[in-house]
Structure 1
């Protein structure tokens, strides 16, 4: 449990604070593996302590993970109003996208408070802004939203992987295949936590197939065209052997016929 939640819970009677705290912790633990259960825990905590900003944050995030956009937006707006924190602007903007309101999403992504966010939160805002531009059919503007200094970043951080991936995705939609390949490759190289499917997207562009393996990196790249060539060569070799075998059998049959014919002539 983070310090902000602990501080908020201190304002509740001890028994209630312990109960709400358990549900908040459960929601946090389950949000990735079982979003529906996480949502139920967070919703229970919200019913018991809706005036605590951290509880509203937890409830908003849980609602977001199960696609309850309006509920998530309401809770996160309340949490922001009560706490003064701008941490979840990207999620709020994405909720507007989920509600089919990309223009409102862009208003949130351009909130003046965004300049004071941490790098990962600012990048998430730009990714959501790019998504909103694509929702509106302006792919070039989506690319511009992602052209930030962090595109030159080389460190393996989840938000960098997501930025590279989003940039590559837009490049591919624009038909810039080689540039997309480069940024999918960059995303793959820094995505140590598996937050994207950059490997699969890169494989699709390069015409290779990913297969499971027990090698250390867990992935083997197999050239699909080479596999096809090898299969064709093997088929031709098999056919050639079969033709040779057929010819050999024909020669042996001819020899046996000659032997039988020669034997009849001797007897005659």
Structure 2
């Protein structure tokens, strides 16, 4: 697969480059460039990222970072069994637990929420850093909802991290998940409050909290390029003029 001309492989962090030093120099460079392409495309074109990950895996299947990248690429295209196998392999190679939450989420993807929930109670969770523990809580709440236990999902997300005013990389997603869980159990006013809090913390635009708030407020944005849009292309329709059926 073609590699972007500006990709050198030096873009990788030092830990990954250290792992690749076990390979012959030319091979290490090829693997590095493919891993950079995986990282570059994972969000915008997961199918392409998956292709580059398969190349890297074929070249260096004994490198933990390659197995981990292959896992995330498979996860991105919803190949959950494959992703789980790669994450397990990476974990065996390193002895590290940071992949535990995404492994549990793969279980959810495979239709086994009970397994994901059981993993949330395993000793491995205590070895995670704060971000990993929050991620595990999100997965556990999702598993509860998968099992038809929305009230339990709400309780699962209630935590010191949720109550904290400190904004961390995971804060927006945690608040958003809580708002969504509240909405599912009919607590709409509280849900609106937490969607607003999620929006405040969402500096990177990782959630659609603003859209969810608009929906709750009965605001519908009209696409200026829509042929059926009102003559005033900048017009915003609200529920006061024309009720929106949600």
Q: TM-score range by the shorter chain?
A: 0.7 to 0.9
Shift in Å, 1:223? 6.8
Q: How many residues align?
A: 223
CA distance in 2, matches of 1:21, 1:178: 49
Per-residue CA deviation, residues 78-105 of structure 1 (Å, 9 max, x unaligned), is 1011011211222111110110001111
**What secondary structure sits across from 1:194 in the alignment?**
coil
Shift in Å, 1:212? 7.9
Q: How does 1:245-264 map to 2 (within 5 A)?
A: none
Decide which of 14, 18, 27 is 1:7's aligned counterpart. 18
Provide the aligned C-alpha RMSD in A. 2.1
Shift in Å, 1:41? 0.8
Decide which of 34, 47, 61 is 2:45's aligned counterpart. 34
Shift in Å, 1:221? 11
Q: How does 1:168-247 map to 2 (within 5 A)?
A: 168-210=179-221, 224-227=238-241
CA distance in 2, matches of 1:209, 1:159: 28
Larger Rg: 1
Where structure 2 has 5 or more consecutive residues not aligned to the other structure, the ranges are 1-11, 225-233
TM-score by length of 2: 0.84
CA distance in 2, matches of 1:210, 1:159: 28
Shift in Å, 1:38? 0.8
Bigger CA drift: 220-229 or 175-184? 220-229
Counterpart for residue 145 of structure 2:
134
CA distance in 2, matches of 1:211, 1:149: 39
Counterpart for residue 160 of structure 1:
171
Shift in Å, 1:119? 2.2
Q: 2:100·2:124 contact (CA, 8 Å) conserved in 1?
A: no
Shift in Å, 1:5? 1.1
Per-residue CA deviation, residues 38-72 of structure 1 (Å, 9 max, x unaligned), is 11111111111111111100000010001110000
Counterpart for residue 216 of structure 1:
none
Instruction: Please tell me whether residue 81 in structure 1 is matched to residue 92 in structure 2.
Output: yes
TM-score by length of 1: 0.78
Decide which of 87, 90, 99 is 2:101's aligned counterpart. 90
**What secondary structure sits across from 1:209 in the alignment?**
strand
Q: How does 1:43-62 map to 2 (within 5 A)?
A: 43-62=54-73
Counterpart for residue 157 of structure 2:
146
